[in-house]
Homo-oligomer: A and B are copies of this chain.
Amino acid sequence: MKRAFVMLALCASPLFTSPALADATGDLGLVIERATGSLLVIDRSDHAAVGRVEGLGDLSHASLTYSPDERFAYVFGRDGGLSKVDMLERTVVARTVQAGNSIGGAISDDGSLVAVSNYEPGGVKVFDAGTLGLVADIPAEGKTIGLVDVPGRRFAWTVWDTGEVFLGDFAGAEPQITALGNAGKNPFDAVITDDAHTYLVGLFGEKGVTAYDLWSDQPEPRKFLTDYGKTEEDMPVYKMPHLQGWAFTEGQYALPAVGHHELLWVDRASLEEVATTPVHGQPVFVIAQPASPYVWVNFATPLNDTVQVVDSRTHTVVATLNPGKAVLHMEFAPRGAEVWISSRDDNKVLIYDTRTREKVAEIAADAPSGIFFTARAHQPGL
């Protein structure tokens, strides 16, 4: 009797049912609850929150990546905390505060290594994905940004202060670090294309974007978009755009114009600007709806109650939605049937059908920001 009682107690939970022991993980996800340092576990098929993981530290600017089996999440917190979360057990299984201030990370293509890019002190630390034991510590002469995974157990990153770009190879016993030259003045973020062909570095200290061909044996910087918006006055930048959201569609890059109410369209092969699209505000995320001609855009404060949908063929806005207050992020179902949108100040995650563009469900969440489905585990650069 006593044992039965204990088991029941273990299964009880004030908010959520107990973790299903036999559970598939392909349609799970995590929502960052920035104010409380917690993660909401979501089930995409059920349109439901199914658990919560607490004790993640400062998640006011956080991101995460997934293990190849879609069981574990590696969470990169603002406070330099790297936490490994078990989606099935809904617990933190390992945690290290590995720097004073971190801004993101990536997992190697084989799932064996997790790298974190840090501000204080600057540099990149690489950890064993199983134990979170330190594998390599690569210093930098400034804040590191734009850390991405590159096939072959490699990572690329950029230094804000110096503009330098590095490629690190961690396949052998000792890391091999190669300098790839200078991207430009104050690179603020970088991203790798979905085919891992091009590393794109966005510049803040000067106009432009710098591209590296990572399929080349000796990648060299190639600058483009060096004069966008030069005829207009720049506005103050209310929120730095995120480049991980850069959309790659129809042979083009769809980029946010820093300091302008505009999207910029660039031909992927020639790197020539082909069009601009006037939009509602300063773009933050520009994300391609999978298997469609559309990109979805959200905006910086104070215009952040709106989401727009733009057709990549005509470069025109085809829909304007008002999902809620302080829309911080959007995440698509991997085959594009739905988009999940976080409305921080409504404390909700809103689910839209992408075909009808109508809301089909909503989930309560505590000041939600980033939404991450486990399908990211299978995508290079995420």
A interface residues (Cβ-Cβ under 8 A, vs B): 19, 21-28, 44-45, 66-71, 87-89, 109-111, 149, 151-153, 171, 194-197, 215, 249-251, 268-269, 290-293, 313, 333-338, 354-355, 374-375, 377-380
The answer to whether A151 and B109 have CB atoms under 8 Å apart is no
- Given A22-B22, A45-B111, A215-B293, the answer on whether A27 and B171 have CB atoms closer than 8 Å is no
Known: A26-B66, A197-B250; 7 extra A-B contacts, CB below 8 A, are A24-B25, A45-B111, A110-B338, A151-B355, A195-B292, A251-B251, A335-B380
The answer to whether B378 and A26 have CB atoms under 8 Å apart is yes
The CA-CA distance from A68 to B233 in the complex, in Å, is 47
The CB with the most chain B CB atoms within 10 A, among A22, A88, A374, is that of A22
The CA-CA distance from A137 to B297 in the complex, in Å, is 40
Q: Report the minimal beta-carbon distance from A286 to chain B, rounded to whole angstroms.
A: 16
Q: Which residue of B lies closest to A375 (CB)?
A: B378
- Given A45-B111, A111-B45, A196-B292, the answer on whether A71 and B380 have CB atoms closer than 8 Å is no
Which chain B positions have C-beta within 8 A of A375?
A: 378
Which chain B positions have C-beta within 8 A of A313?
A: 215
Q: Report the minimal beta-carbon distance from A332 to chain B, rounded to whole angstroms.
A: 11
Which chain B positions have C-beta within 8 A of A379?
A: 334-335
The binding surface of chain A is classed by DSSP as loop
Q: Report the minimal beta-carbon distance from A148 to chain B, rounded to whole angstroms.
A: 11
Q: Report the minimal beta-carbon distance from A115 to chain B, rounded to whole angstroms.
A: 15
The CA-CA distance from A275 to B153 in the complex, in Å, is 32
The CA-CA distance from A101 to B278 in the complex, in Å, is 54
Q: Which residue of B lies closest to A152 (CB)?
A: B355
Which chain B positions have C-beta within 8 A of A377?
A: 26, 334
Q: Which residue of B lies closest to A27 (CB)?
A: B69
- Given A23-B22, A109-B335, A337-B110, the answer on whether A151 and B292 have CB atoms closer than 8 Å is yes
The answer to whether A25 and B151 have CB atoms under 8 Å apart is no
The answer to whether B291 and A70 have CB atoms under 8 Å apart is no
- Given A251-B251, A355-B151, the answer on whether A380 and B44 have CB atoms closer than 8 Å is no
- Given A111-B45, A251-B251, the answer on whether A89 and B22 have CB atoms closer than 8 Å is yes
Q: Report the minimal beta-carbon distance from A178 to chain B, rounded to whole angstroms.
A: 16
The 7 closest A-B pairs by CB, nearest first: A26-B70, A24-B71, A196-B291, A334-B378, A27-B69, A291-B380, A24-B69
Contact of A291 among B66, B89, B151, B290 (CB under 8 A): B151
Q: Which residue of B lies closest to A110 (CB)?
A: B337
The answer to whether B25 and A70 have CB atoms under 8 Å apart is yes
The answer to whether A45 and B68 have CB atoms under 8 Å apart is yes
The answer to whether B195 and A70 have CB atoms under 8 Å apart is no
Q: Which residue of B lies closest to A336 (CB)?
A: B151
The answer to whether B171 and A355 have CB atoms under 8 Å apart is yes
Contact of A335 among B23, B69, B378 (CB under 8 A): B378
Q: Report the minimal beta-carbon distance from A324 to chain B, rounded to whole angstroms.
A: 23
Q: Report the minimal beta-carbon distance from A355 to chain B, rounded to whole angstroms.
A: 4
Which chain B positions have C-beta within 8 A of A89?
A: 22
The CA-CA distance from A305 to B28 in the complex, in Å, is 40
The answer to whether A151 and B337 have CB atoms under 8 Å apart is yes
The answer to whether A69 and B380 have CB atoms under 8 Å apart is no
The answer to whether B215 and A335 have CB atoms under 8 Å apart is no
The answer to whether A291 and B337 have CB atoms under 8 Å apart is no
Which chain B positions have C-beta within 8 A of A291?
A: 109, 151, 194-196, 380
The answer to whether A21 and B21 have CB atoms under 8 Å apart is yes
Which chain B positions have C-beta within 8 A of A293?
A: 197, 215
Which chain B positions have C-beta within 8 A of A195?
A: 249, 290-292
The CA-CA distance from A194 to B249 in the complex, in Å, is 11
